[in-house]
Chain A
Amino acid sequence: MKFKDYYEVFGIPRTATQDEIKRTYRKLARKYHPDVNKDPDAEMRFKEVGEAYAVLKDPEKRAAYDQVGKRWKAGEEFQPPPDWDAGFEFRGNGAEFHGDASDFFEALFGRQARAAQGARGHARGQDHHAKVLIDLEDAYRGAKRSITLRMPASDAQGRVVLQERKLDITIPKGIRAGQHLRLAGQGEPGLGAGPAGDLFLEVAFNPDPRYRVDGRDVFANLPLTPWEAALGCSLSLSTPEGPVQLTIPARTAAGRQLRLKGKGLPGNPAGDFYFVVSIVAPAADNDAQKAAYRALADTFDFDPRAVTKG
């Protein structure tokens, strides 16, 4: 695993006061919180900042980290030296950070590391949270996904080793973005005879420019030419469920929503699928096309600005 420089993450010197750390964290957390910042990288940055704060806000952990930090630079291959935290008493039991902690954080401050260093007793393992990305089509049909979780553990010599767990899960049909799946007993192992925690997976959809989802309803744009919209037509269109044959009635106006009942996300009741009509007029590039537009102008007594006329 690579060494992480938490001061670099915060952009502050090692001499920063606890107050500066707190202020910097709040500033960065506000900036990168996924509710506020829709940038795809924001969530990763938010987690990184949260992890750095979990260490730097606690004077004991910070002091222990500083000891280690003297010997490594960011990005260098890292293995916690034996007894690196000897003489430090971390408050609370184990880590207080509960995003998806990095291997680096887990190795230094994770519960596994603490347990290996002689914690006693029986306690339920903590619940873990992770995110899983699926396509909208997967939500229509249900999907199989393999998720790999890495968790540091101690080997017989007390060294930190990474263990990998591959979970094969079935994502139920009809799942919606933002919902959570609970995998009982797949969180952190318990201490002693304590039971393992649960794993919560938050479901998100891979962005798909073709579709918009609102609850169980799914929307797609349907651009039509003026003549298709005016005269009506029959079109073959794709939906997440597969192709459909759609009859566009004559006199279809822009903004009209054509509903395919029950063709949204499956469920009880199932959502609806909507094609939202827009009308696109081609540019007139050659003489014949210009003549066609002039013929339209001569044929129609049509003023779209009747209301706003100056």
Chain B
Amino acid sequence: MSTTDIQITSVLIVEEEVQLTLAELCQACNAPQASVVAWVNEGVLSPCGETPDDWRFTGASLRRARKARWLTHDMEVNTQGVGIVLDLLDEIAGLQARLQRAGLD
């Protein structure tokens, strides 16, 4: 097997240093633009900016958008359902963090 060695000099922390445009988010979570627009209209994702061309998504949106993609395209959950599931998952994650903080997990 041939191996190529590559030194990477620039690594960005997505959640802290990156803002994504609509096209970049679609590419990164592999979802069609129509899906991302539907998630924004449903309040699943909340970009800055007025029109889709101006939208800027925080790096933290990537994780949320990847879950939304799975729920929409593999589990065939509708947009409202995606919003509810993601909010519940956030709540579970918050509760688990509290348990962990208390050393009870």
Binding site for B on A (CB under 8 A): 25-26, 29-30, 33, 35, 50, 53, 98, 124, 126-127, 129, 148, 150, 161-172, 175, 178-184, 186, 197-198, 200, 212, 214, 217, 219, 221, 276
Q: Is B34 positioned at the interface, with any CB of A under 8 Å from its CB? A: no
Q: Which of B1, B5, B8, B63 contacts A169 (CB 8 A)?
A: B8
Q: Is B51 positioned at the interface, with any CB of A under 8 Å from its CB? A: no
Binding site for A on B (CB under 8 A): 1-8, 10-16, 18, 27-28, 30, 59, 62-63, 66-67, 70, 74-75, 89, 92-93, 97, 100-101, 103
Q: A35-B89, A197-B27 are in contact. Are A212 and B103 (CB under 8 A)?
A: yes
Q: Write the chain A residue with the least CB distance to B77.
A: A26
10 residue pairs from A and B, CB less than 8 Å apart = A29-B74, A53-B74, A163-B1, A168-B5, A168-B6, A178-B63, A179-B15, A179-B16, A182-B18, A212-B101
> Could you say which residues of chain B place their CB within 8 Å of the CB of A217?
101
> Most chain-A Cβ atoms within 10 A of its Cβ — which of B3, B12, B28, B63?
B28
> Could you say which residues of chain B place their CB within 8 Å of the CB of A169?
8, 11
> Could you say which residues of chain B place their CB within 8 Å of the CB of A175?
13
> Could you say which residues of chain A place their CB within 8 Å of the CB of B93?
35
The answer to whether A162 and B1 have CB atoms under 8 Å apart is yes
The answer to whether A181 and B11 have CB atoms under 8 Å apart is yes
Alpha-carbon distance A197/B1, docked complex (angstroms): 23
Closest 6 CB pairs of A and B: A180-B14, A164-B3, A169-B8, A98-B30, A179-B15, A182-B12
The answer to whether A179 and B1 have CB atoms under 8 Å apart is no
Q: Which of A25, A127, A181, A198 contacts B13 (CB 8 A)?
A: A181
The answer to whether A183 and B103 have CB atoms under 8 Å apart is no
The answer to whether A198 and B28 have CB atoms under 8 Å apart is yes
The answer to whether B6 and A166 have CB atoms under 8 Å apart is yes
Q: A25-B74, A200-B62 are in contact. Are A214 and B6 (CB under 8 A)?
A: no
> Could you say which residues of chain A place their CB within 8 Å of the CB of B100?
212, 214
User: 20 additional contacts, CB 8 Å, given A166-B3, A178-B63, A276-B103?
Assistant: A26-B75, A29-B75, A35-B67, A124-B27, A127-B27, A129-B66, A162-B1, A163-B4, A165-B4, A166-B5, A167-B6, A167-B8, A169-B8, A179-B14, A179-B16, A180-B15, A180-B63, A181-B11, A184-B10, A214-B101
Q: A50-B74, A214-B97, A214-B101 are in contact. Are A182 and B11 (CB under 8 A)?
A: yes
> Could you say which residues of chain A place their CB within 8 Å of the CB of B6?
165-168, 186
Q: A35-B89, A180-B59, A200-B28 are in contact. Are A168 and B15 (CB under 8 A)?
A: no
Q: Write the chain A residue with the least CB distance to B69.
A: A98
